[in-house]
Amino acid sequence: MDLKLKIWRQENAQAKGEFKTYNVAGVSSDSSFLEMLDVLNESIVDKVETPVCFDHDCREGICGMCSLYINGRPHGPDDAITTCQLHMRKFKDGDTITIEPWRASPFPVIKDLVVDRTALDSIIQSGGYTSAKTGGVPDANATLIDKYSSDLAMDAASCIGCGACVAACKNASAMLFVAAKVSQFALLPQGQVEKTKRVQDMVARMDELGFGNCTNTYACEMECPKEISVTNIARMNREFLSSKVCSEQ
Amino acid sequence: MSNTKALSSITQKVIMSLMGIFLIMFLLVHLGINLFLLPLTENHREIFLASAEFMSTFPPMKIMEIGLFGGFIIHILYGVIVQLQNWKSRGSKSYAVASKTKATLASKTMIYSGILVFMFLAMHIYQFYFVKLGLNTGPMLEGTHHPDFYKMAIDLFTNDAIFSTIYILSFVVLYLHLSHAFQSAFQTLGWNHPKYTPIVKALGEIYAIVVPLGFISIPIYYMIWG
Ligand code: FES
């Protein structure tokens, strides 16, 4: 298939940046979106020009590095997948595809389509640690967890921190991401010891970094490649409120 | 980039939603009284005027009135603050291709529907409440210095087609605002539950349709049969 690509090119964080149009011919519909970009980059390199920078690592939907805003949707025109899992069969021959970086104040563009998402790491760090028993190896069944809670915790923990929630949100809110990180601990007995401090610190850090306020449009949930549910946001709100009201901290 | 907020993002939203729920309850009471503008009973005019009298003179209602104004001001103030912060977070660079994510129109336009409802509210307060305060003129009940809200309302609905049209359109906008507001308030307060959330959502939809429709029915009645 032959495609026309409109790609955001920006030399560095300070540069103004602009869209550049590229034509790629003979793209296999079986190739992945990132493979299509690799093909494009090879042709750009052949012309001794600077290839398009984009983030990627695992290319199997688990690391959360790939982060492209394709034709008006984070991770492109398919549901519950990352950009690296998007295949060209989702497009038609002759299509024009517009590729932009995540847009949000806390995610400054580093170069072209690569944005700095260390803000998300910083929120995780602010969550601190979980206290655990030291000493002999504990019996695997010593801490009982019901299946329902463990499933919910696992669902929350499947967040790969790609930032699509922030990119999709009209408010650039990171609530879905933070909620997933709060929930994965709040749902388990091991997470109870520091739960008050954890939720307060993570929310404070999120605000400090300049992420927006959630207005419940649920665009985040619709675009999340891991289908993290907004029920996690409600859970975080509960955790936050009860920690503010009940605890002395 | 860093932001310093006086209150945390969640606290701001909780205040907004609590005020919103308070306003939602108030609206129901207001509708209950307004419906007596319609000839529902023989003595509907007397019931309407007695309720208006009760609302403006019964001492506990005075306190509620202050609370109500406070509720409006806080809800609007935080609505604007939250929106300004959100625009700042989104940044100066917007996407070239507008979002294709299927978020509801109501949820994406809360600030705009809110501003329109606020404009209606300002007009409404000027036209009615200011008469009570003596800052605007209007018909008085015979032998008293209480405004005749019944006559004011019926006159407007019967003779002023522009007013009635603005009134009806405002409530359509309010429908949009409420259809997102109701369930959103519960979500913000942390009330999202597999059993109860479907009920909250259904109640919100019913409320958002029935209440504005109730208000709209009054000018429509008087425009047609007035
Ligand atoms: S490259 Fe790892 S998730 Fe896409």
pLDDT of A127 strictly over 70: yes
Closest ligand 1 atom to A57 CA: 1
- Which segments of chain A are extended strands (E)? 3-9, 18-24, 69-70, 73-74, 96-100, 109-111, 114-115
For residue A161, the CA-to-ligand 1 centroid distance in Å is: 11
Tell me phi and psi for residue A105, to 5 degrees.
-55, -40
Contact at CB, A230 and B184, closer than 8 angstroms: no
What's chain A's length in residues?
Answer: 249
Residue A19, chain B, CB below 8 Å: the answer is yes
State the Cα–Cα distance between residues B226 and B223, nearest whole angstrom.
6
Do residues A166 and A104 lie in contact, with contact meaning Cβ atoms separated by under 8 Å? Answer: yes
Q: Which residues of A touch B98 (CB under 8 A)?
A: 72
Nearest to B112 by CA among A215, A166, A17: A215
Write out the residue limits of the CATH 1.10.1060.10 domain(s) in chain A: 118-248
What does the DSSP assignment read for B26-94?
A: HHHHHHHHHGGGS--STTHHHHHHHHHHHHHHSHHHHHHHHHHHHHHHHHHHHHHHHHHHHHHHH-SPP
CATH topology of domain A118-248: Fumarate Reductase Iron-sulfur Protein; Chain B, domain 2 (1.10.1060)
Nearest to B85 by CA among B201, B7, B146: B7
The predicted-structure confidence for A69-84, as pLDDT tens digits, reads as follows 999 999 999 999 999 9
Do residues A153 and A188 lie in contact, with contact meaning Cβ atoms separated by under 8 Å? Answer: yes
Query: Complex ipTM, two decimals?
Result: 0.94
The predicted-structure confidence for A20-51, as pLDDT tens digits, reads as follows 999 999 999 999 999 999 999 999 999 999 99
Confidence of residue A4 (pLDDT cuts 50, 70, 90): very high
State the Cα–Cα distance between residues B68 and B74, nearest whole angstrom.
10
Chain B contacts in chain A segment 76-135 (CB below 8 A)? 77, 98, 100, 103-106, 108
Average pLDDT, chain A: 96
What's residue A87's pLDDT?
Answer: 97
Query: What residue spans of A16-173 are helical by DSSP H?
Result: 33-46, 118-126, 147-157, 164-168
For residue A57, the CA-to-ligand 1 centroid distance in Å is: 5
The predicted-structure confidence for B179-224, as pLDDT tens digits, reads as follows 999 999 999 999 999 999 999 999 999 999 999 999 999 999 999 9
Write out the residue limits of the CATH 3.10.20.30 domain(s) in chain A: 3-110
The residue behind tokens 């520091």 is A194
Tell me the pLDDT of chain B (226 aa) as tens digits: 445 678 999 999 999 999 999 999 999 999 999 999 999 999 999 999 999 999 988 999 989 999 999 999 999 999 999 999 999 999 999 999 999 999 999 999 999 999 999 999 999 999 999 998 889 888 888 888 889 999 999 999 999 999 999 999 999 999 999 999 999 999 999 999 999 999 999 999 999 999 999 999 999 999 998 7
Domain boundaries, given as residue ranges, for chain B? 2-225
Contact at CB, B9 and A207, closer than 8 angstroms: yes
Chain B contacts in chain A segment 33-72 (CB below 8 A)? 69, 71-72
What's residue A137's pLDDT?
Answer: 87
Residue A108: CB atoms within 10 Å: 18
Identity of the amino acid at B116: L
pLDDT of A123 strictly over 90: yes
Contact at CB, B187 and A216, closer than 8 angstroms: yes
Distance (Å) from the C-alpha of residue B204 to the closest C-alpha of chain A? 14
Cβ–ligand 1 contact at A81 (below 6 Å): no
State the Cα–Cα distance between residues A5 and A98, nearest whole angstrom.
6
State the Cα–Cα distance between residues B78 and B73, nearest whole angstrom.
8
What's residue B4's pLDDT?
Answer: 60
Q: What is the CATH number of domain A3-110?
A: 3.10.20.30
For residue A128, the CA-to-ligand 1 centroid distance in Å is: 26
Q: Hey, what are A18's tokens? A: 């602009």
The predicted-structure confidence for B118-129, as pLDDT tens digits, reads as follows 999 999 999 999
Cβ–ligand 1 contact at A64 (below 6 Å): yes
State the Cα–Cα distance between residues B188 and B111, nearest whole angstrom.
17
pLDDT of A132 strictly over 90: no
Nearest to A226 by CA among A91, A35, A74: A74
Would you say domain B2-225 falls under CATH 3.40.50.300? no
Q: CA of B88: which chain A residue's CA is closest?
A: A105
Q: CA of B185: which chain A residue's CA is closest?
A: A216
pTM score above 0.90: yes
Q: Hey, what are A128's tokens? A: 């601190």
Q: Hey, what are B102's tokens? A: 């299927």
For residue B48, the CA-to-ligand 1 centroid distance in Å is: 65
